[in-house]
Every structure is written in C-alpha cells, then in structure tokens.
C-alpha cells in the first residue's frame, strides 16, 4: 500500500527523485568530521524553537499588564507549560551556540572561500535574522532586564543620521518602550522564524549547488564521495543524541542558569537595574559598543563587528586550501581571535570599571585588527608555505588555480562564453 501511494505521488510530483537527489543520495565528502554536524543541529533547534514557540503563543498575552503574569500562568497552570518555556529559553542559547560553532568551523577550514561566497553570505543573513528574532523575543517576558535591555538597544537607533528620533519612535510605536512595542515585537518574533526557514532553504540550495566543503579544503573527486544516507544521517543522529543529553541537563536541572535573575521581576520603568546586560550571545558585541566613548561611534563599531565576517572571502588572499589545517599562522590567528571574543564577552558581562573599560578597548582594537591584518598575513604566509613545502595534492591544486586564472586573463572571450 505505501509503495502504491508513493508511485501515485511520483506520477504527479517528483518526490522520490527529489528526496534521492537532495537528501539520501546527495554526494558527500567521505572525510567530514563531527564539526560538520552543527549545520544539522542548527536545523533541528530551529524546528524545536518554532514548535515550542507556537504552543507558547497560544497562552501568551502581549499586554504590559498581563504579559509577565501570562508567563507565570504558563509555568504554573498549563500542562507541561514549564517544559515548553524552559525548552524555548534554553533553545535560544543552544541555537546561538550551535550557530557560532558552525561559523567557527567555517572560518577555521576556510570554507567561506570561492566558490562558496554566496553560501557564506546567506549564512550571514541568517545570523542577522536570528539576532533580530532573539532581541525581540527577549522583551516578551516583560521582566526588568527585558524592559531595560529593549530601552537601551532601541535608544541606539538615535544614532541614525538626521532621522534618529523618528526611527526610535517607529521601532517602539510610542515615545517609550510600552504596550505598542510589546505588541509589535511579539508579532515580529512570531513572524521571523518563518522568514528564517525560507532563508535556510536558500542556504541549502546554495550548499547543494557548490557541494559541501571538507577538512582538506580540496574538492574531492566523485569516487571519494559517498551518499548522505545512511552514512552521514547516522553520524548526524549520533551528534543529535549527544546534543540532547546536554540540552536535557540544562532544561531539567538548571534551566534558570541561562535566565537573568532580574528578569524574574516584573518590568518597572521607575527602577533601573544596577547593571544592564544582554543575553550571553550578545555580550562581545555589547562590549564593543561600550568600549567606544561616542554613541554613534559605538553603534557603528558594533554593526561593523558583525558585518565584517561577510568580507572574509575578500580579506583572506591565501590560495592554500584547508584553512588552519595547512596554515599554522592562520591557525594561531584563529585561536587568538577566539580568545579576544571570550575576553570581550567577559567585559560585556561585568560592571564597567576603569580596568574593564581599558581591557575592552584593547580587545576591541585586537578584534578589528584581526580582520585588518588578514590580507597581509595570509599573502605572506602563502609565500612562506610555498618555500617550505606543502603536501603534493595541495600544491597541485594551487598550481591548477593559478593556471586557470592565467588562461582567463589571456582569453577573456572564453571567460564570457563560460558565463553565458
């Protein structure tokens, strides 16, 4: 009976061929490590957030007089409401952790380079959508940290040239963060995950067009690829099992460790918390904002700190594939960059003092310097590596790329014909 149904569908829609081409039979490099699991985990957490968010929205009230109490109602009176709320709040942190590891893997192995620039940029667009969704969702509990965090962040839009005040009022729907702000943030927080799903589809189309990268950085021959199923589905589900164990520990044993204590107090516009901090996944960018004395400069620096990742395909001028695998200088630079991000996260979390301000400013300079020096260091490192010697397959790939570029320069008509 199931085979007859599938045949009936295949006669009207290419279901079997689509699943085979895009999922089960998708050719995958055989040397992928477990670091390639995090793309699958990101998709899983996205579905988890959408599912729990829909059920939470059924009981949530987007009203400043009722929103905080509606959260308490979900926690205390709705069957398994506490589980839905903790899965959703913990899932937000898990989502960013998975995405950041996914980005770190891409940076380490240089998977953002040609021909995968569009794949990298669609991922950057996904990150911006995720940040916007998380920021708007953070206001919904209407606790102290939610209210004051939204007040601080929306105030930053006053830095918009000429129309700063109007932009802030447009975002809030009022002169202060209030009922109109809560209503529109709830509506957009509900909408954006579906936009993210659409962006994920675009991301996957870009991925399947250029195929997956691998730790070597060298596009493997067809004979070295294997079907995605069952080899990598088994690998992904093993990683999912490990993830669910860790995720369950937080959900069932320490769910409040990822919720700021001040957010368990109803929002009070007349009482400012001693230290306003965003969620942990925004702390490095918040530290960069605080490190610049001028508000406009701080907003520009914070925006650039996110957008600079999109320029990595142009900044990294080395032709050596594999990223940090074959490039020791790049590997050291990568680990130092991670250390700078951790320092910025700590600076963003602690109350500002003379010492932490200086540390934050130094870390901010190092953060931007990491991007600024990439073109010079990558080219110098490539020359050093060529003199020192690389594996034969890496040298062959570099020579073939150089030869292809030379041919295109000598014969521009051929290049136009290929594009056409």
pLDDT in tens, 149-173: 999 999 999 988 888 899 999 999 9
- 305 among known catalytic residues: no
What number is the average pLDDT over the span 403-418? 63
pLDDT at 420: 38
Phi, psi of 113 (to 5 degrees): -80, 170
d(CA 151, CA 142): 12
pLDDT at 408: 67
The CATH number of domain 25-276, selected from 1.20.810.10, 1.25.40.10, 3.40.1350.10, 2.40.70.10: 1.20.810.10
Active-site position among 236, 316, 381, 382: 236
d(CA 275, CA 333): 33
Identify the burial level of 322 via C-beta atoms within 10 angstroms of its C-beta, where 0-12 means exposed, 13-18 middle and 19 or more buried: buried
- 10 among known catalytic residues: no
- What tens digit of pLDDT does each residue of 184-207 get? 999 999 999 999 999 999 999 999
Active-site position among 208, 211, 229, 379: 208
Contacts of 288 (CB under 8 A, 6+ apart): 298, 301, 302, 305, 344, 360, 364, 367
Q: What is the pTM of this model?
A: 0.91
Active-site position among 260, 279, 316, 381: 279
The tokens describing 346, both together, are 């700590």
Q: In which element (H, E) is residue 197 found?
A: helix 179-210
Least confident of 65-74, 210-219, 348-357: 210-219
Per the prediction, the chain carries an average pLDDT of 91
pLDDT at 155: 93
What number is the average pLDDT over the span 248-258? 94
- 208 among known catalytic residues: yes
Residue with tokens 């931007």: 368
Q: Domain segments of the chain: what residues?
A: 25-276, 284-389
- For the four alpha carbons of 359, 360, 362 and 366, in that order, the dihedral sign comes to positive
- What tens digit of pLDDT does each residue of 113-127 get? 988 999 999 999 999
Strand runs labelled E in 96-207: none
Active-site position among 235, 291, 305, 318: 235
Active-site position among 70, 93, 212, 216: 212
What number is the average pLDDT over the span 56-82? 96
Strand runs labelled E in 133-232: 225-227
Residue with tokens 């380079």: 113
Which of 302, 329, 282 has its CA nearest to residue 110? 329
pLDDT at 162: 86
- 212 among known catalytic residues: yes
> Does residue 39 carry a pLDDT above 50?
yes
């Amino acid at each position: 009976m199931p085979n007859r149904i599938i045949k009936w569908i295949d006669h009207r829609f290419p279901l079997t061929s689509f699943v085979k081409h895009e999922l089960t039979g998708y050719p995958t490099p055989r040397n992928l490590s477990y670091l390639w699991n995090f793309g699958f985990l990101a998709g899983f957490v996205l579905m988890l957030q959408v599912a729990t968010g829909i059920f939470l929205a059924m009981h949530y009230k987007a009203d400043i007089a009722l929103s905080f109490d509606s959260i308490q109602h979900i926690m205390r009176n709705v069957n398994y409401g506490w589980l839905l709320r903790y899965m959703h709040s913990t899932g937000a942190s898990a989502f960013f952790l998975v995405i950041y590891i996914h980005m770190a893997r891409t940076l380490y192995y240089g998977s953002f380079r040609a021909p995968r620039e569009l794949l990298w940029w669609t991922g950057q667009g996904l990150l911006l959508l995720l940040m916007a969704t998380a920021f708007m969702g953070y206001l919904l509990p209407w606790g102290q940290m939610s209210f004051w965090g939204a007040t601080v962040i929306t105030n930053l839009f006053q830095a918009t040239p000429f129309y700063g005040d109007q932009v802030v009022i447009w975002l809030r729907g009022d002169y202060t963060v209030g009922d109109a702000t809560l209503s529109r943030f709830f509506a957009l927080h509900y909408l954006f995950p579906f936009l993210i799903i659409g962006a994920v589809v675009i991301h996957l189309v870009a991925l399947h067009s250029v195929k997956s990268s691998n730790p070597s950085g060298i596009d493997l021959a067809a004979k070295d690829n294997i079907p995605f199923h069952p080899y990598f589905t088994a690998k992904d589900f093993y990683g999912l099992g490990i993830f669910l164990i860790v995720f369950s520990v937080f959900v069932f044993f320490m769910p409040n460790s990822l919720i700021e204590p001040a957010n368990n107090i109803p929002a009070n516009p007349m009482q400012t918390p001693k230290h306003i901090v965003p969620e942990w996944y925004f702390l490095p960018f918040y530290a960069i904002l605080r490190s610049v004395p001028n508000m406009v400069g701080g907003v520009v620096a914070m925006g650039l700190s996110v957008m600079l990742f999109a320029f990595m395909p142009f900044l990294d001028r080395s032709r050596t594939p594999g990223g940090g695998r074959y490039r020791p200088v790049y590997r050291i630079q990568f680990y130092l960059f991670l250390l700078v991000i951790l320092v910025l996260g700590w600076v963003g979390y602690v109350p500002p003092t003379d010492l932490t301000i200086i540390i934050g400013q130094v870390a901010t300079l190092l953060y931007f310097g990491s991007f600024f020096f990439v073109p010079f260091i990558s080219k110098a490192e490539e020359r050093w590596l060529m003199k020192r010697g690389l594996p034969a397959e890496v040298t062959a790939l570099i020579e073939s790329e150089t030869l292809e570029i030379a041919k295109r320069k000598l014969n521009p008509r051929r290049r136009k014909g290929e594009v056409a």
